[in-house]
Chains A and B, each alone.
Chain A
């Protein structure tokens, strides 16, 4: 059924762009004030075991995605039941990112254009991307990441004249409660969202290195996000970061080098569009795959267009306005996303491990033969 293959390095790039997604524009860990970057670092470290769980589940069944694994282990009926929350999560996440994009464009760029216009246009683009398949997206990401990294590095250097290092001091002055909630917020957005990759990573070319892919993508993107958070705190200060919707956009907007290099916020938009496209397209792919498996279709691609259009609708109707969106993203999301990102995967993992072990005990020889034939 699935003949698409992507290499390890492509998956790493795909995952990095996915994690960047809307994070670079909205920012994360804001609860911790000037210690947001510490929260992000700790969230990265805490994400490592979870990522190992994800990759362990995948590497036990090479060439299969989460939905297939669930069916294999829980039986056809229960497997499909357990798939449902994951499908919803992928669908919902895609819609949220789409809405972020719409709000961003309409807030900073085109206030008089109805929000639905950028959402529809971007949604159609993502449908196209997802329909082209994960292989194409992976190749896209190889190309996109050059731009993203280039822009991030160049524009971070340009901000050097306006950074005020005093802003991050005192380190650890925010209090442990704030830092803890910052960790939760940074963990669930964006690092935990990588659970989506369990639903699409049947396409990995090599089997043994799943964990390497997950961990290296996590470290690279995590360190970048933390450093950018330091940059934003140094430029804007924690109070302004809390006051504005899109901190990175404001931070870059303050760059003014000799009255010549100025008004370069658009770079932030470019980064958002490139990485947001990958993120939404992957959410769409994951949703379509899940739906296809649950209703027993062979080809998930015919489901992408309807799913995508539904996603556009959900994105349009999910919030009243931008205030509600940010309230939700910061106050509800961490608690809402945690079960999908940690509790369910860990339970599934424990179940699968126990089952494997029982199987191993019951019939050692059979398993070794199995391994040989599947390899």
Chain B
């Protein structure tokens, strides 16, 4: 009898559990979700936020096919526009898999932080999203271009961003790094820019170049060449190429491939003036010689090395003067560097950093080490 009672209790509890405890409070079935892969943010003329959300539409017929769908939505706030998209798709947008946020130039020039607050605050969006500034008229048209290898444009941009190491023509910045920098007053945040290029008659995305911010406002752009020079001053060059036009006085163009690069940046006081000492140490190999000049033998290598060093140095100096004089934006984080290494000096100049930076000199020292010449010992030329 006792045993039966126990059994009865257990079964009753099991039945109760089945009824009460199955399912979650706010459960979501996967087919009820529209998985967003990217979003483009524009502003309509009357201060209304216009979102273009790229949603991955997963095919239901046995094979896993997926194609993009675009939902456009307006709202007074980012959140409103995002929520309103539900009425068009009929499904709730699921943000956790979003890879890309593209912001139009117009918005970025006014105040980018306003539009990013939702992404930073919401629990569902992740912090490792790519944030890009559109150089086209609207951000939406970039998202709606045609993907080359992948049908989903956001995924293609994600791939392009991840290949940054071998390209070095745009900064590698994820959403959270941008936030971290935004919090820090004396550093100018930067973001990569994106535009459309024509390929086989179709518009396709292209990531390259840098958008420079001062605080939350976009103040200017850097082209791809200058971006690389800038990355050198941030010690963020991990690969990529150095192109030498008319190398060392010859008619030949030479490509050097970067294997390793290290920039040592230290503030120094010289004759009472604070300067930034930058020592760039690059390991390269000769990747290509478009011509017949001898850059492989010992004296030839010396010549090439000296030329490359001078070229890189010139590039960096030109870019530095441009950024410092035109934008007065400390995109290199020199202020932070001074704070780290000379905290006492920093305390004195902190509040007047902009003016101080306007006259900050660079002491640049580039060292290019040619480590090899790929697989061949001679330039390719016809025999005599």
Contacts and interface: CB of A to CB of B under 8 A. Distances in A.
B is a partner of A: yes
Interface in A249-272: 250, 253-254, 256, 262-263
Contacts of A250: 127
Contacts of A243: 179, 183
Contact of B128 (A108, A117, A254): A254
Interface stretch (A4-12, A126-134, A232-240): A232-240
B123 interface: yes
B25 A117 contact: yes
Contact of B25 (A108, A110, A166, A173): A110
B83 interface: no
Contacts of A166: 336, 340
A113 B26 CA distance: 7
B176 interface: yes
B123 A107 contact: yes
Contact of A111 (B123, B127, B128, B180): B123
A115 to B, nearest CB: 12
B128 A256 contact: yes
A237 B176 CA distance: 11
A170 B339 contact: yes
A169 interface: yes
Interface string B23-34: 011100000000
A371 interface: no
A243 B176 CA distance: 12
Contact of B26 (A108, A110, A236, A237): A110
Given A240-B183, A253-B126, A113 B339 contact: no
A112 B124 CA distance: 12
B184 interface: yes
Nearest to A171: B343
B180 A236 contact: yes
Interface in B164-200: 176, 179-180, 183-184
B184 A239 contact: yes
B180 A240 contact: yes
B126 A173 contact: no
Nearest to A112: B26
Interface residues of A, number: 23
Contacts of A237: 180, 183-184
Interface string B113-148: 000000000010011100000000000000000000
Nearest to B96: A263
Interface in A142-172: 166, 169-170
Contacts of A263: 126
A254 B180 CA distance: 13
Interface size class of B (residues with CB under 8 A): 10 to 19
A87 B339 CA distance: 48
A240 B184 CA distance: 10
A345 B173 CA distance: 52
A239 B123 contact: no
A262 B97 CA distance: 12
A110 B26 CA distance: 8
A239 B128 contact: no
A107 B180 CA distance: 21
A110 B28 CA distance: 12
A169 B340 contact: yes
Contact of B176 (A107, A112, A254): A254
B349 to A, nearest CB: 14
Contacts of A169: 339-341
A175 to B, nearest CB: 9
Nearest to A253: B127
B18 to A, nearest CB: 18
Nearest to A244: B120
Nearest to A175: B347
A173 B339 contact: yes
A262 B340 CA distance: 31
A170 B26 CA distance: 46
Contacts of B339: 169-170, 173
Contacts of B343: 170, 173
A166 B128 CA distance: 21
Interface in A74-109: 107-109
A88 to B, nearest CB: 33
B31 to A, nearest CB: 19
Nearest to B182: A239
Interface in A213-238: 236-237
A112 B25 contact: yes
A239 B340 contact: no
Contacts of B24: 110
Contacts of A117: 25
Given A108-B123, A239-B184, A170 B179 contact: no
Contact of B183 (A112, A239, A262): A239
A109 B127 CA distance: 16
Contacts of B176: 240, 254
A17 to B, nearest CB: 27
Nearest to A173: B343
A174 to B, nearest CB: 10
A173 B341 CA distance: 11
Nearest to B185: A239
Nearest to A238: B183
Contact of A239 (B25, B126, B180, B346): B180
A173 B340 CA distance: 9
B127 A113 contact: no
A256 B24 CA distance: 28
Interface in B5-43: 24-26
Contacts of A111: 123
Contacts of A254: 127-128, 176
Nearest to A114: B25
A109 B123 CA distance: 8
A103 to B, nearest CB: 12
Nearest to B179: A240
A199 B176 CA distance: 44
A112 B24 CA distance: 11
A170 B343 CA distance: 6
Nearest to A239: B183
A112 B180 CA distance: 29
Interface of A: 107-113, 117, 166, 169-170, 173, 236-237, 239-240, 243, 250, 253-254, 256, 262-263
23 contacts: A109-B123, A110-B24, A110-B26, A111-B123, A113-B25, A166-B336, A166-B340, A169-B340, A169-B341, A170-B339, A170-B341, A170-B346, A237-B180, A237-B183, A237-B184, A239-B180, A239-B183, A239-B184, A240-B176, A240-B179, A253-B126, A256-B128, A263-B126
The 7 closest A-B pairs by CB, nearest first: A239-B183, A170-B343, A169-B340, A112-B26, A113-B25, A173-B343, A237-B180
Given A111-B123, A169-B341, 16 more contacts: A108-B123, A112-B26, A113-B26, A117-B25, A166-B336, A169-B339, A170-B343, A237-B180, A237-B184, A239-B184, A240-B183, A250-B127, A253-B127, A254-B127, A254-B128, A256-B128
